[in-house]
Amino acid sequence: MKRHLNENELARDERFRRNRIEDQIFDPRNVAMSTRDLGPAQMSVDRPAVSERSRSLMHGIFVGEIQALEGAGRTCYDFDDADAPFALKLDMARQCWDESRHVEISCKLSDHMGTDIGEYGESAFLFAAACNPDPVMRLCGVNRALEGLAIDVFSSMKTFGESTEDPILTFCEDWMLADEVTHVKMGSDWLRRLTENDLDRRERALDFQRTVDKVFSLGGFRGESEENPIQITRKFRELAGFSQDECDELAAIAQQAMEDARTMVAAAAASQS
Amino acid sequence: MGSITVTPDPFHLVEFDAAVLRGLIEEVAGSLQIPPTVDISLIVDEALPHPILGCETNLVDGAIDLWCSGGWFESRNKTRAFSERHARGVLTAMLLRARDRLSGGFEDAPADGELTLAERSAWDVYAWGRTDQLGHRVHRQKRLYDFRLQHGFTDAADAVFDRLWTSNSSSWGAIREICAETGAVLRPKAKLPADLLRRGSRH
């Protein structure tokens, strides 16, 4: 079996459809949208189009879980024991089991909300973070950045479930959230163990994580202000081994990502006028 | 003969054709037996993609005034492309509500921008249920989830949904009674205007 698959080699059946990144970036509606009041960024019952927007997010979570499963699965296989200790692979195998369960839960939640598999496009940038050939970098990209984003998303979805008194959404998100804290903790622990005698490598890995975190902040999708749909969840991140300083740094990265996105939109608007 | 207008014409941001939309409206309005003398105007906010969905159906001086976000007509398989199936479905639901307002027991209902979210969601279920009965592909579970968000995740709310979904006859008074029955009238008032999306529209 081939090692190190890239995101274009992921197996999908005919229900799935891949988003083309160029379609999203060059969509002429982006500039018009940026000037519009679409209601509060965070999900609430009186947010315009709240049901369809929450369905879209839930589908994104569903495909994200598939890619997290694929990423953890590849880590079990892609490396020799010299590069990645057997105990690490055991942790990744346990994570695969968790992610499989999350995929099933996400399918059931999509049924609950009225979404068909493949109704929304899939972006593969989450899996792209799991393609690094260095296992330490990959752990930082997947377990600390990607799974860290999952903590923030699940916590926000759980809050939405509580606000709408939806017992199914609240319960499911709470259970998945607990698993994600464990996955991030595994990433934090293995990062320290694998780089114990190589601080340069640790710093390179943390640099890679910062890059992934900025990408995953999606130009303001995640942050700590009311303008961000997904809130950074410090309480759970600290449980998962993030220090206070690391949480502060992530908040600053997210803020920078939002400002960069605004600058790009302003430049695009200026070029169109 | 009443006129049918579609704005914008032509579309600039999406691959929609105003003439195709006019033809669809004429066909659907005819099938619903909306009096052919009534003027119909449709404004499409082409800047709002799927999943930013919003639509309104009002009567203005006896004419039918429709507004909707472009996302309602957008193909799920190709960004900015037109989906006749989705357009036909939502136009049917919108024009059923227009017929309700003209002579279907909803003559005294407030404009869409003044409805509460619960009132609007109950009326939508009544409209989508009839759209389903007419043979269109309507996702019942989507409509149930939307209804639950406004009326509660309870057996009582689900029973009301079933009643509305299969109904062929209702009225504005019945919709208000339903909101009392599910307890939706006791919920906190929405902080945002119901027509927020339309308020930002250029047209």
CA angle B82, B86, B89 (to 5 degrees): 140
What range does the domain containing B8 cover?
Answer: 4-103
Split at pLDDT 50, 70, 90, the class of A84 is very high
The answer to whether residues B167 and B92 belong to one domain is: no
Contact by Cβ (8 Å): B71, B48: yes
> Residues 22-41, chain B: which have Cβ within 8 Å of A?
none
For residue A240, give the nearest of A194, A184, A190, A187 by alpha carbon: A184
Cβ distance B191 to A113 less than 8 Å, yes or no, reads no
Give, for B67, the enclosing helix (H) or strand (E): strand B63-69
- Partners of A27 on chain B (C-beta within 8 Å) are 49, 79-80
In B, residues 40-99, which contact A (CB 8 Å cutoff)? 46-54, 69, 71, 76-77, 79-80
pTM for the model: 0.92
Query: Which of B71, B103, B135 is the last residue in one of the domains?
Result: B103
Q: How far is C-alpha B148 from the chain's CA centre?
A: 17
CB contact under 8 A, A55 and B51: yes
Sheet holding B40-45, edge to edge: B4-7, B40-45, B63-69, B55-60
Question: Looking at residue A36, what is its pLDDT?
Answer: 84
DSSP state of B15: B
Residues B143 and B187 in one domain: yes
Question: Does residue B108 form part of some domain?
Answer: no
Query: Cα B11 to the chain's mean position, in Å?
Result: 21
Residues of A with Cβ-Cβ distance to B50 under 8 angstroms: 52
CB contact under 8 A, A33 and B51: no
pLDDT mean over A60-86: 93
Cα-based torsion angle of the residue sequence B5, B7, B12, B16 in order, rounded to the nearest 10 degrees: -50
Nearest to A29 among B47, B153, B199 (CB): B47
pLDDT of residue B104 exceeding 90, the answer is no
Beta carbons of A122 and A116 less than 8 angstroms apart: no
My answer on whether B119 and B87 are in the same domain is: no
- Do A24 and B12 count as a contact with CB atoms less than 8 A apart? no
Please check whether residue A9 is in contact with residue A78, taking contact to mean a CB–CB distance below 8 angstroms: no
Residue pairs between chains A and B whose CB atoms are closer than 8 Å? 102
Asked if residue B202 has pLDDT above 70, the reply is: no
Please check whether residues B119 and B78 belong to one and the same domain.
Answer: no
CB distance A61 to A153 below 8 Å: yes
Interface of A with B (CB under 8 A): 17, 20, 23-24, 27-29, 32-33, 36-40, 45-53, 55-56, 111-116, 119-120, 164-168
Look at residue B1 and tell me whether its pLDDT is greater than 80. Answer: no
Residue of B nearest to A169 (CA): B153
Instruction: Give the count of beta carbons closer than 10 Å to the beta carbon of residue B19.
Output: 10
Question: Which of A46, A114, A120 has the CB atom closest to B142's CB atom?
Answer: A114
Please check whether residues B60 and B98 belong to one and the same domain.
Answer: yes
CA separation for the pair A109, A107 (Å, rounded): 5
B169 plus B83 within the same structural domain = no
In a domain, B9, yes or no: yes
* Same structural domain, B71 and B99: yes
Question: Chain A partners of B48 at a C-beta cutoff of 8 Å?
Answer: 29, 33, 36
Both B135 and B185 in one domain: the answer is yes
Beta pairing partners, B41: B5, B65
Q: Which domains does chain A show, CATH number per domain?
A: 45-272 (1.20.1260.10)
Determine phi and psi for B44, rounding to 5 degrees: -110, 125
Phi/psi of residue A239, nearest 5 degrees: -60, -30
Contact check, Cβ <8 Å, A45/B150: yes
- Kindly state whether residues B95 and B132 are assigned to the same domain: no
Contacts of B146 in chain A (CB under 8 A): 51, 114
Answer whether residue B109 is part of any domain: no
Share of chain A above pLDDT 90, in %: 52
Which CA distances in Å does A5 have to A64, A71, A114, A131, A149?
17, 10, 33, 7, 23
d(CA A39, CA B173): 30
The 10s digit of each residue's pLDDT in A224-267 is 887 788 888 888 888 888 889 988 988 888 888 888 877 877 77
Buried/exposed B40-73: b ≥16 CB within 10 Å, e otherwise = bbbbbbbbbbbbbbbbbbbbeeeebbbbbbbbbb
Q: Within a domain: residue B52?
A: yes
Distance from CA of A59 to the nearest CA of B (A): 12
Please tell me the distance from the alpha carbon of residue B4 to that of residue A76, in angstroms, as a whole number.
62
Q: Give the model confidence (pLDDT) of B36-60 as tens digits.
A: 999 999 999 999 999 999 999 999 9
Task: Tell whether B75 is covered by a domain.
Answer: yes
Please tell me whether residues B134 and B191 are part of one structural domain: yes
Q: Is there a contact between A113 and B145 if contact means CB atoms under 8 Å apart?
A: yes
- Alpha-helical segments (H) within B112-171: 117-133, 140-151, 155-165
List phi, psi (to 5°) of A215.
-60, -45
pLDDT interval class at A273 (50, 70, 90): low
B144 and B189 co-located in one domain? yes
Q: B103, B124, B153 — which closes off a domain?
A: B103
Contacts of A23 in chain B (CB under 8 A): 79-80
Whether residue A49 has pLDDT greater than 80: yes
Q: Are B149 and A51 in contact (CB under 8 A)?
A: yes
User: For chain B, what is the mean pLDDT?
Assistant: 95
Residue A20 predicted with pLDDT over 90: no
- Residue B201's closest chain A neighbor by CA? A36
- Distance in angstroms (rounded) separating the CA atoms of residues B74 and A226: 29
pLDDT at B60: 96
Q: Cβ contact (<8 Å) for B12 and A167?
A: no
Residue B74 has pLDDT above 70, yes or no: yes
Domain count, chain B: 2
Question: Is A38 in contact with B52 (Cβ distance < 8 A)?
Answer: yes
Domain presence at residue B136? yes
Residue A236 tokens read as 């759970």
Are B79 and B141 found together in one domain?
Answer: no
Question: How far is A28 from chain B, CA to nearest CA, in Å?
Answer: 6
For residue B162, pLDDT over 70 is answered with yes
Provide the angle, in degrees to the nearest 10, between the axes of the packed helices A199-216 and A244-272: 50
Of B35, B69, B103, at which residue does a domain stop? B103
* Whole-angstrom distance, CA of residue A84 vs CA of residue A77: 10
